[in-house]
Structure 1
Amino acid sequence: MTGGRWRLLATPLVAITAGLGVGGLSGLVVFGDWLRPMGAVLGATAAVVVLARLATGRPFLPTVAGALAGAWLIVVAYVPTADGGTSWIPRGETLDGLRLVAERAYWYAQSSVAPAEVETSLAGAITLAVVALFLVVDALAVGAGFAASSGFLLLAPWLPALTLERRVPTLALAGALAAWLAVIALSRRSDRGSWRARARDGASPAAPGAALAATAATVLVALIAAPLAIGGPGWGAMPRLTLPAALGGTSRLDLEIDLRNSLTEQSAEPVLTYTSDSGRVDVLRAYSFGSFDGTQWDRDPVGDTAPATGVLWPEDTGSPLIAEPGTLAIRFGNSAESRVLVPAAPRTLAAGSEWRYDASTDEVLIDRPEGTADLRYTVRQAVDFHTEESLRAADPLIDAGGDSNVPERYLDLNERIDIDKVRKIAETITASATDRFEASLALQEYFRGANFEYSTEVAPAGGDSVSAFLADGRGYCVQFATAMVVMARTLDIPARMAIGYLGGSSEGSEWVVRGRDAHAWPELYFPGHGWVRFEPTPAVQTGDRPPWTDVEAAPEETLNPEPTERPTTLPSRAPVPEATGETEVAGDDGSSGFPWVVVLVLGLAGAAGGAALWARTRARAAAVTDAESAWETMRRRLGARAGDDTLTPAETELWILAEGPDLGDDARASLALLRAAVEDARYAPAGSAIEAEVLAGWVDDVAHAAREAEKGAQAGR
């Protein structure tokens, strides 16, 4: 592929890389129909750049043409006229429209709650950023020939996900990486001459070995070193940037829950304050999670909602009023959640028309762009609703099929988890339990025992983080809650995970909940009673157990019933019997915890690199068809050493021999033969009859000798 033609392919690849960078916003915005117009604007802009490169040899004129086209398309697509129509021709009011759209996008981005729905103004801002990134990178990589260096700019869209430790679409990241690597493989800047000369002459395909090495190194660093660094020891101690409220920064719960990540440093900023006539509340609940793939949790889908009036609880409490309620007066600060925080017990609240209740997830939704920021409300809760007696009373309902109304996802177990091993541990722990309450209590106490340690640093694991946690015994609330949920499901107990905040600390007459009070806990289902919180996370983080599970105050016979044929003591992790007689550790199956997706991406990248190298080799061979094309190929590969293209073949030969280090006898002979062949082709009546394969060999001799001579000269300096 010649120096000019490679750019026609590189520009669309740069556009693909920039477009896939939107994947870095995963978890911050909701992907939807707005992606289609964004892709259309980006594609049309890239097409204008390609067409401009066909029409001109100037390196940056296509960028200017693309910028004008992109700006016009963004105005047409996202800037309405005063009457709400479409403006095909920019007018004086267009600038005012742009300003209003920009202000609206800024306000919406600052006040909305992640993941935010993308409305028109925000979609326009994102499209503008993507098109601008494409144009800048294309100008550097294709126009100026700095393909490798442009990769630093292409990292920009992924920085939010990196700094916030959010999950990103794996295929989008792999696709962006592959497209950028293809741009690098297609181009190689000459080491001689100014950058303007290199941009004018065009780049040449990289050497196969260099392209393959760059591809492998980049894939390894991006997909192995970076994830290990993010999840590795010490990451949790790294500070995070917290914007002050005056600058529009908002705090919120992290809904991207991945058990492989260490716990980042928690904010001491107040989230909310409350007063209570019944003392400190145990937890304030916000969200529920039901689907777990072995390492990551997914939010529960929103079910049918109803106005948030009356008693809010998934099960019918039998009365429209709550006996002996406790009252909380809650005042939010700058925390912008999309769910109203409520106690984990039946409750009532004074709600506006924008408040809805979802009984399937036990979440109170609030339809405000700013979410819960600066919200004030009062909640009345049933302080003694959960009791040992009421929970034990659920067993007859279980036998009568009381779990049938629970969605199946609360019993699902992902195949990545070593289900048999986890079930054996759970069965051993609960061997003496006579009902669901005792089994749940036994699971809770197992994790709060001496075998487990609260730690904010978690070693990265493979696809089965639960088994890794059970083997290591160290983690924070997410690991403890997840392990108890999975164990409960292996015992056919519907379970899910909830997140919210612990009750905070007393400061004067108020209780203050701070960012560091963010917490996750398991909820187990009891028919006729509802979802019940248990607390497996050690007391060092959570304090006392929930009152209905306070084993220290419970009668001894409750925890130690009459002996049966099964063991009655809680086992330690190590002696738990296995089907094979050996204790397995996650990742010891030969993969050493190596993520399967890395293997897949490496394989795809290798295949793509091999295909690109094969295609480039074929293209290089096809480029030399006669003496004239061989001469041009040699000049391009020599770069500045070949001199100006106005020189005759004889003058070019003299220039090459005089310009740099000596080529050696063989290369000088090949150069002379090649010069004679092109002179015959131009001036001899019969032309040149030299075969293309021979001509290509002479070109390789000269180019290789020039490269080696230059290397030798640099080494001797």
Structure 2
Amino acid sequence: MTGGRWRLIATPLIAIAAGLGMGGLSGLVVFGDWLRPVGAVLGATAAVVVLARLATGRPFLPTVAGALAGAWLIIVAYVPGPDGGTTWIPRGETLSQLREVAEHAYWYAQNSVPPAEVEASLAGAITLAVVALFLVVDAFAVGAGFAASSGFILLAPWLPALTLERRVPTLALAGALGAWLAVIALSRRSDRGSWRSRARDGASPAAPAAALAATAATLLVALVAAPLAIGGPGWGAMPRLTLPASLGGGARLDLEIDLRNSLTEQSATPVLTYTSDSGKVDVLRGFALATFDGTRWDRDPLGDTAPATGVLWPEDTGSPLIADPGTVSIQMGSKGQDRVLVPSAPRSLVAGSEWRYDASTDEVLIDRPEGTANLRYTVRQALDFHTEESLRAADPLIEDGGDAAVSPRYLDLNERIDIDKVRQVAQTVTSQATDRYETAILLQEYLRGPSFEYSTEVTPTGDDAVSTFLADGRGYCVHFATAMVVMARTLDIPARMAIGFLGGAQDGDGFVVRGRDAHAWPELYFPGHGWVRFEPTPAQQTGQRPSYAEPETTEPTDPELLETVRPTNAPERQLPTAAPTAAPAPTADEAGGFPWLAVLGLAALAVVAAAAALWARRRSRADAITDAESAWATMRRRLGDRAGDDTLTPAETELWILAEGPDLGDDARAALGELRAAVEDARYAPAASTVDAEVLEGWVDAVAHAAREAERGAQTRG
């Protein structure tokens, strides 16, 4: 085939290959309806390229036209206007909105646990990458005539799968390979001479019938074939992947479900509705997690199950059901699971033979193909089962070995955790407790106190997420619950984490529970009474404490005691004894060589622009010393490489600075020690730091000046 026709047919084939390249994300994201908008933008962009190639003989002008069209379509589809509506005409503020979307996509990608649900900003970033891949390959293969070599660029989206040795969807990979081979076959008569001559060959417009057929084929394959191939039959059989922390931008609390996604304003989708004759329920419990390795929770192993009849509770309540039970009628949504959501108290329900109960995990299972999807059921719960009196009554049983009734795994502590430091904090916080109930209340109130802040925008690092959280004081429900579980275990109290939903919001005569109501909480064991929920998460997420967990007025823990128990962020890090050697230059794959730059060029520009703006804002505020934290950040910036890695704790940073480079002198060493103590107080002591800003600034100047003079002296002597 000669003339412009082969080029018009090659363009939709390249669109197919680019769209199927999303199959390389297997295991990293959850494929679903978001594929169709991606296909729509890709198809429309490819159609513009085909139509532009009909109107001009210039080889690369169609690529420019397609890039402009694709950029506009991405803005329309994924970048909201200032009022939240569609941005049909880009304006001055569009760039700012685009930057916000890029920042959110970058943050979401860095902090989501694979396989992640794809929300709007991440879908926009993927769309940008796919459209960029198509345009680069089309310009390279059709515009410049390098059809065979373009296959190396098409390989780029599959590199994560090849690097991590993951399985990929065979249909998608075969389709991409077949499309590329077809492009090579179509260009076989235009493979001689220079690239300029090959580009000019056949650049004249094709017949209208051929142009119409090519445009229709482009839209068809990009809108239908690619999304169906990626999400088609057999996709659910592909294995899911959990990335190690080193590949995910730092360790995080990694659950089988990622609660952070549900806790943001992006997740307003209803999960279930219910009515209750006793008002809103506290929580609806799904399942339990027992094993924690420092960053990741694993599900409780399933124990022996029995028919879900009678009173469902881990301990014998001594009666068919507590008097005056409350009734809750639940209607599940269309997204099902295999665990039935029930109140966190003794309960009973009308169940068929497919309903089972596991007392060891306090989970209700249902064996039906669709799980709990669209399930309607009624639960009768024991109201006010937990009381202060009943929980205190469990204390005498502890001395008689009552904890032996539960598995010893509920006391396990992974060696990655700085156990001694966490135990010191727990013992100091609970020093006034006289029984297990008071111990639990003091742990709960410590975490709900002013030293901690609720935030879903956290990126902890290292292998010990508990110590990081206790040091930084910022996190969401998973962090608060995990900290209380681990602190309780250091005090020899069996504890575990439970996952479910808060009671939701009133909607007419009933209540609606949405994705953002997803919640995690700790459960502590009380012999003879069972597993008891406590609420360490601050009120902006959980609301009121359980009625039995309301604390009495007590004297605060002595600040001087807490000052001596500061957890470290990186207990396993070894301090350097000599100057570090220069790191080897990264390989092309590690640094994002030519294929990645070609595929993600436009996406990288948006991310770099957002990162540059954030860096500029932070740098402009770097010298404004108002407290110990800002003084510490300013000192680290002024020292540069001599300050070491930013994951070092203050104490580790001090040792690094003293070991790195020439001696600072006695005065500077003293100033560094004072500054380190001030920032530790600010982070760990309940009373925080009380050092004046002028004093902090003087310490920073002393350290920075001494370091600068020491370096100059060393250079002079050298």
The TM-score normalised by the length of structure 1 is: 0.48
The TM-score normalised by the length of structure 2 is: 0.48
Q: Based on CA coordinates, which of the two structures has the bigger radius of gyration?
A: 1
